[in-house]
Amino acid sequence: MIAGMQNVVKRFGNVQALDHVSFAIHEGEILGLLGPNGAGKTTVIRTLAGLIKADSGEITLLGKKQDVNNIRLKQHLGLVTQEVTVFEELTAEENLRYFGGLYGVKGDKLRQRVKETLEFVGLSEHAKKVPGKFSGGMQRRLNIACALVHSPKFLIMDEPTVGIDPQSRSYILESVKRLTMEGTTLLYTSNYMEEVQAIASRIVIMDQGKVIASGTLDELVSRIQHEETIRITVSNPSVALAERFRAIQGVKTVMHNGADYTIVSGAGSDNLNRVLMVAQQRGSVSNIVADKPTLEDVFLTLTGKKLRDEEAGV
Amino acid sequence: MTRNLFWVSFFHYLRRLSRGYLGILIFVALPLVIVWVLSFVYSQNTEEQIYVFGYNMISTNISIGMMLIFQLSGGIYLLNYLNHDLIKPMKWRLKASPCATYTLVFSGTAACLVFTVLQGILIVVGTSLLQDAYWGNVWIVIFVIVLVSIISQFLNITLFLYIRNVNTAEYISWFLSWAMAVLGGLIFTLPDNAFFSFMKQYGTPFSLAQSAIRESGFLGTSSTNMLVCIAALLGIAGILAVLVIKLGRRKLI
C-alpha cells in the first residue's frame, strides 16, 4: 500500500465533509475517486496530502503516518490542483524550474527534468511562452507538468480535465496511463465517469462524505447487475419468434418492435448464444448487442443521482 | 534545505517583480513625472530663492516626499503576492510542496524589500540628475529607504494578516501612506502649532524619514536629530517585526 485512509473524519463547522472514510491505494495503480460535487473528494485529497488536518482517523503515505506539514512526505507527492495554478507572469519553463526547485531538484538534473516534463506534456515548443498565451488544454497540461517535474512517487490529480476540449482530454488521459507505466501511483478524481472507467484500475465512489462502494469496474458492476439485456435485429420477424425467445430459460420479458427484439434475462443467465441460435434458426441476424451496465448505472444505483445532473445543478 | 528553498523562492519573487511592468511604471516613472510636474508648477508661483548651492529646493522637497510615499506603498507588491500565493488556489499547490509557508513569506518579503529599495534609489538618482534635487548623505538616504521599505513590508503583512481582504488592505495601505504625507506637510501647509510641528518632524514614519534625510545634509541643523529619527524608524520596524512574527505564527503556520 502506498497510501491509505482509515476511519478518517473531517468536519467544517456543522458540515461533516468526511464520514469515517477508509480506502487504500496500492503501488502502481490508478485509483479513481468518483463522486458528485460536495461528495468530499477534494477534502480526501487535502487530508491525504497533509494540507488540512483530519479530526480523527489515520492517514498513511509511503508507509508513514501523514500529518499536516510533513515536509519529508511532501517531497514524494505531486498534486495537480483542480484550478490551473501556474504563475501567469512566468514562462512554462520558468514555472517548471520554480516548482522543481521547491522540491530540491537543482542544477543539471533540474534542467533535464524540465525538458523531459515539457516533452511529456507536449509543450516543448511552447517552453518560452507565458501561460496567458496558451489554450485551456495547454494550461491544463502545464498544470500537470508542474506537479510532475520532481518525479513524484505518488501523484494526486484533482479533476485535471475540467473545462477542456476532447482532444486535450484524451491527451491527458493517455499521459496518465503512461505515468503509471513509468511506475507512478495515481489518485485520480473526476466528475467524468467515462474518464475514470477508461483509466482507473480500481474505483472508490463517494457520496455525502462517505465511501459507498469500492472495487474494480467489474466488481462494482456485478454488485448492481440484476438483469441482462440483449437487443437483436432479425430478417424475418414474427410473433412466433418472440415466443421462442420467451421460452429460453431465464428470460423475463421480450419486447418486439418491427425487426427489433429486446430480451431481458435474469443476472448471470448468459443467454446471448441461446438467443442467437434461436434467431438464426428462423432466418438471418443483422445485429445483436448485449448491454452491459456501465459505471454510470453503478453510480445511479448506488447514489440515486446522475453525476452530470448534479454538476449542472451547481 | 530551508536555506536553499529560501533562495529558490527569493529569486522566483524577484523574477515575478521584474515582470510587473505596470508596477515599475507606477513606482518609478509616476513619482518622477509627479516631481517634474509639481516642481514646474510650484516654481512658477514662488518668490523664494529656488536654487541653493546649485540644487533646486522645490524639487528637493517634492522628491523626498514622493520617494517616501511610494516607498511606504511599496509593500503593496508583497500584499498582492501573499494574496495570490496564500489565499487564492495557488496556496494548495504551494502548501503541497516541501516549502514551509514562513519560508515563502520571508523570501517574498526579502525580494519585495530589495526591489522597492532599488526603485527608491532609482527615484533618488533620477531626481538628482533630472531635477537637481538635493539628497544629503547618500548612505543615510539608502539606509532610510531600507528602513522605510521594511516598515512598509511589515505594515502590509500586518494588514494582510488582520484583514484578509486584499482590496481593503490595499486601500488602507495607500490611505496610510498619503495620510502620513499630509501629516508630514507634503500635500498642503499645516497649521502652525505644537501638535502639527511634532507630527511634521517626528509623528509618522514618513516625517521621521523625511527629517532624517533632510538632517543628513546642509538642509539640516543637527546630526543628533537625524540619529533620533533613524532610531525611531528602527524602533517602529522592530515593533512591526514582533507583531508580524506573532500574527504570522497564529495565522500562517
ipTM of the complex: 0.87
Rounded to an integer, the average pLDDT of B34-58 is 84
Tell me, yes or no, if A90 comes closer than 8 A to chain B by beta carbon.
Answer: yes
- Assessment of whether the complete model's pTM goes beyond 0.90: no
Candidates A46, A84, A90, A98, partner chain B, best to mutate (most B CBs within 10 A): A98
Categorize the per-residue pLDDT at B135 as very low, low, confident or very high, splitting at 50, 70 and 90: very high
Give the minimum alpha-carbon distance from B132 to chain A in angstroms, rounded to a whole number. 36
Q: What is the mean pLDDT of chain A?
A: 89
Categorize the per-residue pLDDT at B205 as very low, low, confident or very high, splitting at 50, 70 and 90: very high
Categorize the per-residue pLDDT at A310 as very low, low, confident or very high, splitting at 50, 70 and 90: very low
> Which of A49, A83, A89 is closest, CB to CB, to B96?
A49
Domain ranges of chain B: 2-251
Rounded to an integer, the average pLDDT of A208-233 is 85
pLDDT given for residue A302 in this prediction: 78
pLDDT given for residue A314 in this prediction: 33
User: Residue A90 and residue B20: Cβ atoms within 8 Å?
Assistant: no
> Which of B1, B16, B253 is closest, CB to CB, to A90?
B16
Give the minimum alpha-carbon distance from B80 to chain A in angstroms, rounded to a whole number. 13
Residues of A in contact with B96 (CB under 8 A): 49-51, 74, 77-79
Report the amino acid identity of residue A52: I
Is the confidence at residue A313, as pLDDT, over 60?
A: no
A44 with A208: CB under 8 angstroms? no
pLDDT digits (tens, 9 = 90+) for A98-142: 999 999 999 999 999 999 999 999 999 999 999 999 999 999 999
pLDDT digits (tens, 9 = 90+) for A162-207: 888 888 888 889 999 999 988 899 999 988 888 888 899 999 999 9
pLDDT digits (tens, 9 = 90+) for A27-73: 999 999 998 888 899 999 999 999 999 999 999 999 888 888 788 89
| Domains assigned to chain A | 3-221 (3.40.50.300), 228-292 (3.30.70.100)
pLDDT given for residue B1 in this prediction: 61
Categorize the per-residue pLDDT at B218 as very low, low, confident or very high, splitting at 50, 70 and 90: confident
Alpha carbon distance A166, A279 (integer Å): 40
pLDDT given for residue B253 in this prediction: 63
B106 with B13: CB under 8 angstroms? no
Residue B49, exposed/middle/buried by CB under 10 A (0-12, 13-18, 19+)?
A: exposed
Rounded to an integer, the average pLDDT of B123-145 is 93
Give the minimum alpha-carbon distance from A87 to chain B in angstroms, rounded to a whole number. 9
Tell me, yes or no, if A182 comes closer than 8 A to chain B by beta carbon.
Answer: no
Categorize the per-residue pLDDT at A311 as very low, low, confident or very high, splitting at 50, 70 and 90: very low
Candidates A102, A103, A110, partner chain B, best to mutate (most B CBs within 10 A): A102
User: Residue B16 and residue A69: Cβ atoms within 8 Å?
Assistant: no
The more confident residue out of A293 and B38 is B38
Long-range contacts of B84-88 (CB under 8 A, 24+ apart): B86/B252, B87/B164, B87/B166
> Which of B9, B15, B93 is closest, CB to CB, to A81?
B93
Rounded to an integer, the average pLDDT of A241-268 is 89
- Which residues 67-86 of A have a C-beta within 8 angstroms of B? 69, 71-72, 74-75, 77-79, 81-83, 85
Residue of A nearest to B102 (CA): A69
CA–CA distances in Å: residue A197 to residues A205, A219, A294 = 12, 13, 8
Place of cell 480523527: A56
Residues of B in contact with A87 (CB under 8 A): 16, 90
pLDDT digits (tens, 9 = 90+) for B115-132: 999 999 999 999 999 989
User: Residue A106 and residue B99: Cβ atoms within 8 Å?
Assistant: no
Alpha carbon distance A107, A124 (integer Å): 19
